[in-house]
Amino acid sequence: MSSKFLPKVAGLAVTALAAVAMPLTCAAGQTLAKLPAVPAQMACTLPTFQSLNLNGVADDHGQVTFTAVSLVSASATNPAAYCSVRGVIGPGASSIVIKLPMAAWTQRYVQNGCGGECGNDNLGAPTQSVGCAPVNAGELVTATTNMGHTGADGATWIVNKPLAGIDFAYRGVHVAAQVAKSVIKSFYGQPAAYSYFDGCSDGGREALMSAQRYPNDFDGIAAGAPANNMDVQNTYHHANRLLTNQSTPGYIPLPERNTYLLLRGNLPYIHAKVVAACDGLDGVVDGIIDDPRECKFDTNTLVCAYNGNEAGCLSQAQADAAFRIHDGAKTITGVRLEPEIATEWGSELDWTLYMPAAQGGSAGAENFVNGWLLKTFINSPYKDDTLNPRTVNDLVWTVPAFHDTVASSAVYSATNPDLRPFAASGGKLILWHGWADQHISPQGTIQYWERMSQVSGKSDDFARFYLFPGMGHCGSGLGPNVFDVLTPLMSWVEAGDAPTSLVANNASTSVSRPVYPYPAVARYKGTGTPSSAANFESYTPAHKSDIKTNNAGDYLYAPGFPQAQCTGVGTEMVCEGGKKL
């Protein structure tokens, strides 16, 4: 980790700048090391960067080629001038994009994660860092990577491009960190004092992949809504949501032909009924369900025959479909293929992700599954570009088929819970998820946290987990959904101040709320407005939730679950033991 250089750097700072080297105190009592700004020692020109010899910097001795360098001046929207650098890391095609402050760098490096299946290298502000002082002042070196491919590569970018698959799986983020750190050392004449990674969705998977496979790459890691169980998520998790709303016969009894349109149009009704039943369980009626696991909502109450034909009510088949979307994927014999509760109560307004606007149209869930299958991420016999979630049959929905389908998890998934090497190196992890995430179930993150805590022991010493009520995927949603995770992470790494809470805000509702480390929750003190975070305190429930995360994929979360290393042989990805993907 870059903090190996810290004693020397910090010592120089205290000696040379004793009069001004006071800690930088941030919001909510968080403290960052006061590191003096270091100016650039190189010219911001393409020839200057092309003269750098970075070949061999990456673990696999990949070549680095710089393609564009430009100086970006300070402006009303850009607090400090920086050098913008673009390049490519071989032997694959992972891009690297770096922003290097010209005079304001305070010795911190933050690498941004990439969402979806990546394919872009847009370098914006780090995820959920609103209010972070070093970000606002333009003091950070930031970088990102497209992880081996671009949108121009088309829908089947991974087919016959094994190096792109390896870069996406695990290599891209690692080599980008190695190259960025080498560039930093050359550009400023010294290494970064601290290095961080911040990502959500696939960026959260990348974050956990870094902690598991490369525990020395970053001092602090923020992993939001991680897509870490990638194979399961992009097959059974989303396929179940799609098939639940299809008229084509499948492994479960499916509703009538027009359920797509009817159920989609009735989502506000479903949401209103769920909130009415469960909103007040936390002692505050605010339209947000604090812990959806405590909501034991009966979908039969949505049926017209039950509630007197209220406007927006459902048929029994529609109500059953709503339950199955909530319940999650199972085999034809009822064995769970993902944790109980695939879609939380309270997230209904975002269920349009699974339902097209017109009958027979495609929806997000279908696109995710098709994308995973058509790019041939998964193993035989389901590596078949003629297979799609509308034509799968019962043979796919068995435990043996499940094991085969998710066999490539050893490459793409970041579920190995053994973070002891990361903890031993001094690393700190903040894991977070929205309780109303419509895309990736927070139950999977809970499963990872539970296993990681069991395996790593004393996880509070190096990790914290936060669940945000009412927040959707990586943000949005009805609950407080904007916060700063980066400053608390930096404060923990640099000053040893473990974050006791994160405060989230919702600009639309003017509501703020503290979120405490799991399993603690926020409870209203009983006085003052419930719209203010100041009027809540930490409360740890006396009893654990009765919702279990156990499923047929539990073995994916074993500490001995392999993290395969792969190479490109011709047009195939060949992994340890001769396995081909």
Residue 563 in any domain: the answer is no
558 in a structural domain: no
Written as one letter, the residue type at 292 is P
| pLDDT tens digit sequence for 109-120 | 999 999 888 988
CA distance 318 to 299: 9
Please provide the distance, in angstroms rounded to a whole number, between the alpha carbons at the two ends of the chain: 32
Q: Residue 257 pLDDT > 60, yes or no?
A: no
Which two three-digit tokens encode residue 235?
Answer: 């097959």
pLDDT at site 262: 55
| 173 and 267 assigned to the same domain | no
Pick the more confident residue, 37 or 383.
37
pLDDT mean over 25-49: 85
Overall average pLDDT of the 451-480 stretch: 94
128 plus 209 within the same structural domain: yes
CA proximity to 523, closest of 540, 507, 510: 540
Same domain, 458 and 512: yes
Give pTM, 2 decimals: 0.91
**What integer pLDDT is reported at residue 117 of this predicted model?**
85
By percentage, how much of the chain surpasses pLDDT 70? Answer: 86
236 lies in the same domain as 223:
no
Q: Specify the amino acid at residue 166.
A: I
Which pLDDT value is given to residue 247? 44
User: Do residues 217 and 1 make contact, with C-beta atoms less than 8 angstroms apart?
Assistant: yes
305-322 pLDDT, tens digit each: 988 889 889 988 888 889
- Among 411, 441, 467, identify where a domain stops: 411
The contacts of residue 127 (CB under 8 Å, 6+ apart) are 112, 113, 198, 199, 200, 203, 222, 224, 474, 485
Tokens of 180: 């960025």
Torsion sign (Cα): 151, 153, 159, 164: negative
Question: How far is CA 493 from each of CA 200, 328, 425, 449, 498, rounded to the nearest angstrom?
Answer: 20, 38, 12, 20, 8
- Sign of the C-alpha dihedral, residues 30, 32, 34, 40? negative
C-alpha 311/C-alpha 458 separation (Å) is 52
Residues 11 and 109 in one domain: yes
In the three-class reduction of DSSP (H, G, I as helix; E, B as strand; rest coil), residue 134 is classed as: helix
Query: Which residue among 386, 411, 436 closes a domain?
Result: 411
Q: Which of 27-31, 163-167, 355-359 has maximum average pLDDT?
A: 163-167
Q: Which amino acid is at 527?
A: T
Q: Is residue 415 helix, strand or coil?
A: coil
Q: Does pLDDT of 378 surpass 60?
A: no
Q: pLDDT grade, residue 365 (50/70/90)?
A: confident
**115, 157 Cβ separation under 8 angstroms:** no
Integer Cα distance of 226 and 55 in angstroms = 32
pLDDT for residue 248 is more than 80? no
Whether the per-residue pLDDT at 50 is higher than 80: the answer is: yes
b/e for 159-191, b at 16 or more Cβ within 10 A?
Answer: bebbbbbbbbbbbbbbbbbbbbbbbbebbbebb
Residue 578: inside a domain, yes or no? no
For the segment 222-235, the average pLDDT, to the nearest whole number, is 95
DSSP 268-309: HHHHHHHHHHHGGGGS--SS--S-GGG----GGGGBHHHHTS
Please count the CA atoms within 13 angstroms of the CA of 515 that sit on its side-chain side: 31
Kindly state whether residue 556 falls inside one of the protein's structural domains. Answer: no
The full DSSP string for 210-278 is: HHHH-TTS-SEEEEES---SHHHIIIIIHHHHHHHT-SS--SS----TTHHHHHHHTHHHHHHHHHHHH
Are 299 and 428 within one domain?
no
pLDDT of residue 333: 86
What is the per-residue pLDDT across 331-341, written as a single tens digit (0 to 9) for each? 888 899 999 99
For the chain, how big is the Rg over CA atoms in Å? 24
Is there a contact between 482 and 512 (Cβ–Cβ < 8 Å)? no
pLDDT tens, position by position, 119-158:
889 899 999 999 999 999 999 999 999 999 887 776 677 7
**What pLDDT, on the 0 to 100 scale, is given for residue 260?**
45
Q: What is the CATH number of the domain that holds 520?
A: 3.40.50.1820
C-alpha closest to that of 330 among 392, 234, 398: 398
Q: CB burial class (10 A; 0-12, 13-18, 19+) of residue 359?
A: middle
On the question of pLDDT at 428 being above 90, the answer is yes
Q: Which residue has the tokens 């020397």?
A: 8
Please, is 16 exposed, middle or buried when counting C-beta atoms within 10 Å of its C-beta (0-12, 13-18, 19+)? Answer: exposed
To which H or E segment does residue 200 belong? strand 194-200
Tell me the CA distances in angstroms from 541 to 153, 521, 522, 538, 545, one per residue in order: 50, 8, 10, 10, 9
List pLDDT tens digits, range 494-507.
999 999 999 999 99
Residue 419 in domain: yes
- Check whether 397 has a pLDDT greater than 50: yes
Q: Choose the weakest-confidence range: 9-18, 277-286, 485-494.
A: 9-18
The verdict on 45 and 162 lying in the same domain is yes
Do 320 and 352 reside in the same domain of the chain?
yes
Backbone angles phi, psi at 169, to 5 degrees: -65, -55
Residue 142: inside a domain, yes or no? yes
Last residue of a domain, one of 363, 390, 411: 411
Which strand (E) or helix (H) includes residue 109?
strand 108-112
Would you say residue 240 has pLDDT above 80? yes
Neighbour-count burial of 51, counting CB atoms closer than 10 A to its CB (0-12 exposed, 13-18 middle, 19+ buried): exposed
pLDDT tens digits, residue range 550-571? 999 999 999 989 899 999 888 8
In a shared domain, residues 224 and 237: no
**Co-location of 296 and 419 in the same domain:** no
| 189 falls within a domain | yes
Number of domains in the chain: 2
Helix axes 202-213, 172-188, angle to 10 degrees: 80
Same domain, 473 and 346: no
Residues 331 and 395 in one domain: yes
Q: Are strands 94-101 and 108-112 parallel, antiparallel or unpaired?
A: unpaired
Residue 151: give the domain boundaries: 2-228+415-539
Lowest mean pLDDT among 28-32, 97-101, 472-476: 28-32
| Higher per-residue pLDDT: 416 or 30 | 416
Residue 330 within a domain: yes
The pLDDT of residue 287 is 94
